[in-house]
Structure formats: structure tokens, C-alpha cells
Structure 1
């Protein structure tokens, strides 16, 4: 029997793996988006703590960024998955359940990716805020803007403008980190690729296909982020 070609392997027919790979790619995007959003929220609070928080908050934020940037992302995923499973199992026993209760892999992966990317977001937002010229904030104060209006009209847009390049880099990292979530059993792209490779005995072919899909997702999202950078940089003179 002849070896099937690439088009046959990724077809959507009964013998093709197109549907499984497409579903895995969609799950990869969902995990990346969830982790990215969680990380941005954590990073916003972390940056605020470092800029405007008291001494204890600054120490806590520094400890958070130091620890999370210093340990492997895979270890963080393991901690969330097995730590969450231990908590869920303990609660289940209190309610009368028996045996091991697993923590949802999607939730564990999203939280782990979010917490790790949050450390990067913290530094990105802090640096972006520091890049805002003090004179622009002083001008807003002189115009009588309140704190919330000043944040909405001046600080947030200018900080976002400076942060966007770094945010784009974090997205690319988060997208690659989502592949690590496969160890929790979530049927994302890498997990589906492993199943397909094992079922067909064609690991090289399927891993090449997976690499191409990751590259398409990365390239497409990169184009979107560059467009966002141009949008928020309107009116800025480029040297």
C-alpha cells in the first residue's frame, strides 16, 4: 500500500485528519486567548503595584515577576493541574465523592499560561507607563481632568501605544506555550498531532503539518498586531 500524501492526510474525509487538526488548532487559539487575557489583567495590577503601590505591594509584585520568570512554564502547568486536582479531589471527598477528580485541563492550562505571561505583562506595562512623557500628564492635570478621565483619555492610550510591540511578543510566546498544555490531556493542536502520528505511523509528516499550522496562526496574528500598532501610532512622527 502506498503512503498517503499530505493532502490526503489533512483531508476532511473519513480517512483524513483535517477535522481533528482544525479542532486542535481552534483549541490552541482558545487557550492562548484565555491565557493572554488573564496575563494582561494580572500584568495591569502588577504594573500598578510596582508604580503606585505601597512598599508591601511593590515587594509582592517584584517577588511575583522574579519567581514566575525564573521557573519553567511546564512546571507551572504541572503545579496548576495537579495542585488543582488535589483540591478538587479533597472537596469531592467532603461531598461524598470517591476516587481521583481531575482539574479541568483547559482551565489549568489557561491559568498557568496566564500567570506566567502576567509576569511579562507586568514589566511591559510598567515600562510603557514610564515611557509616557510627564508633561502630557501634567498638561491633563492643568486642564482640570479628574483621575479617571485622565487615565481614560491620556494615560491608557499612550501606555498602550508604547506597550503594543511587547504585547505582540508576549502573544507569540503564549501561542507556543499553549502546546505545553497537551500534557493535561487537552485536545489542542499538538495533542491531536500526537494522536494522528501514533495512529498512522507517520510522525514526521504530521509534525511538519502541525508546524505549518502554528506558523499560519502566528503569521496571521502578527499581521493583526502590526496593524493595531499602526492604528495606535497615528499622528506620531517616526524618526
Structure 2
């Protein structure tokens, strides 16, 4: 079994190298930066910048589903008939929309360490506990994203006529079936513009994880600046990379928007 996992790991490493958009065989830095400061390998900073790009993308993609799920649950809570649930959901969105993202990151990163350390101390373990920076960064961005996402989804829920729920009841559907077959398709279409804006903000907010040591675009370009003293070049490169991610995201969101509209027409 260990041999199988080793083989799969080697295959993944090979595939990642081949498909690397920066330093792969057909990567941008490989093709156009071989004799520059962005050359891949020991000759330049191509590998480091490419790693930063990967970390930024992975953090954003890992945060998105977690934030959407929490935001959806909070949005449901804001519509609950139970007053205490509505109050708790409202407090959640108020707190995490009101706190600066950087402060939330610090609270999650250091607060989790303190809580876990205290819990383990109570069990007799006094060793030092360190939270994984990726997990802390992803969780911090998720709670911020989910707070804004909940408000977007709440507005979308309110835009769906109550008659849609009654139609599901008349067809004999349970509440889960009504949500999945009738409400969710409309919810996605209505909320997509707002969620698209939140995704763009999330891409920018990933830069905060450099503060806790993750090697994202901003951290890697910052290291390159300190070593080479070429601040303008590398920070302009960071701008270009973030803008490229935004353009690619806009194209992807456009495809999703057209798909939802076609689905609406077919229904």
C-alpha cells in the first residue's frame, strides 16, 4: 500500500511539473524568462513566484466551498422562525463584516493556538502547539467570506416568491426537495453577481495570509524585493498576476452566468 501511495505521489509531482503554468515545459517563465531575473531554477525567481501563485490559488479555492457552506447555513438561520437563531446569525454577520480581515486572521491564528494549548494543558500536555498557517488562513478567510455571502444569499432568498415554496408543497415535495429542485436553481441565478464580486474580493484578501508566513504571491515577491532591491519590477509583477487571476475569474463567471440563463430558459 505504501508503494501505491508513493507511486501516486510521484505521478502527482510529475503532473504538477508538466502543467505548471509558470515553470512547466510550456510555462510563461520557461518560454519568455529563461535569460531574465524570472528564470526558473537557481538562475532566477521564477520557481518562487510560481509557488506563490499556486498558494494564492489554492487558498482561494479551499476557502470558497467552506465559506459558501457556512454562508448558506447562516442565511437559512437569518430566516428561521426561531428568534434566538435569527439573533445568532445576525450577530455572526455583524461581527465578521465589521472586523478588519487582518484582525480576524490574527484572532483565528493566535486564538486557536491559545484554545488548543489550554485544552491540552488541562489534559496534562504542556508542549508547544502551533497551528498550521494554511488552515488558519483558510478558516479566517472563510468566516469573513461567509458573513458577506450570507447577506447576498439572504437577499436572493427574499427575492424568490413564497409561491415557489407553496408550489413545491402542492407537488408533494418535502422541504429539502423543494429547496434542491425549485429554490436553489433560482437562488444561484439571483445571487451569482453578488457572489462573483465576493470571489474577486477573496482573491485580493488572500494576500493577508502572507502575514502568518504562507508563501503566497505577495510574500514571494516581497522576499524577491528584499534580495534584489528591485521593488518596482516585482510589485508590478504581483499586480499583473492578481489582475490575470481577476480576468480569468471574470471569464469563468461569465460562462456560469450564461449557463444559468440558458437553464432558466429551458425551464
TM-score over 0.5 (shorter chain): yes
- 2:234 aligned partner: 206
SS at match of 1:233: helix
How much has 1:38 moved relative to structure 2?
A: 1.6
Are 2:190 and 1:162 equivalent residues in the alignment? yes
Deviation readout 1:85-113 (Å, 9 max, x if unpaired): 22344456556454x43211111110000
Separation of aligned partners in 1, 2:163 and 2:250 = 33
- Quick one: distance in 1 between partners of 2:164 and 2:248? 35
Aligned residue for 1:52, secondary structure, equals: coil
Paired residue for 2:106, among 63, 71, 78?
Answer: 78
1:195 pairs with 2:223: yes
SS at 1:103 equivalent: coil
CA contact (8 A) 1:121 1:167 kept: yes
Of 126-135 and 41-50, the range deviating more from structure 2: 126-135
Count of aligned pairs: 231
Could you tell which deviates more after superposition, 62-71 or 10-19?
A: 10-19
Q: Which moved more, 1:140-149 or 1:55-64?
A: 140-149
Q: How much does 1:129 deviate?
A: 1.0
Out of 201, 205, 214, the residue aligned to residue 186 of structure 1 is: 214
Shift of 1:236: 4.9
Select which of 130, 138, 149 maps to 1:121. 149
1:160 CA displacement: 1.0
Distance (Å, rounded) in 2 between the aligned partners of 1:95 and 1:215? 50
The correspondence for 1:218, drawn from 236, 240, 246, is 246
Cα gap change, 1:11 to 1:95, in 2 (>3 Å): farther
Distance 1:159 1:136 in 2: 12
Q: How far has the Cα of 1:36 moved from its partner?
A: 1.9
Tell me the equivalent position of 1:63. Answer: 91
2:251 partner SS: helix
Choose from 164, 170, 173 the match for 1:136. Answer: 164
- Bigger mean CA offset, 227-236 vs 36-45: 227-236
1:235 Cα deviation after fit? 5.7
C-alpha separation between the residues in 2 aligned to 1:53 and 1:208?
Answer: 51
The alignment status of 1:228 with 2:256, answered yes or no, reads yes
Give, in whole Å, the separation in 2 of the partners of 1:235 and 1:172.
Answer: 24
Q: Which moved more, 1:80-89 or 1:43-52?
A: 80-89
Work out the CA distance in 1 between the residues paired with 2:214 and 2:252: 27
2: CA distance between counterparts of 1:88 and 1:192? 30
Residue 107 (structure 1) aligns with: 135
Query: For structure 1, which runs of at least 5 residues remain unmatched after alignment?
Result: 1-5
Contact 1:77 1:109 in 2 (8 A): yes
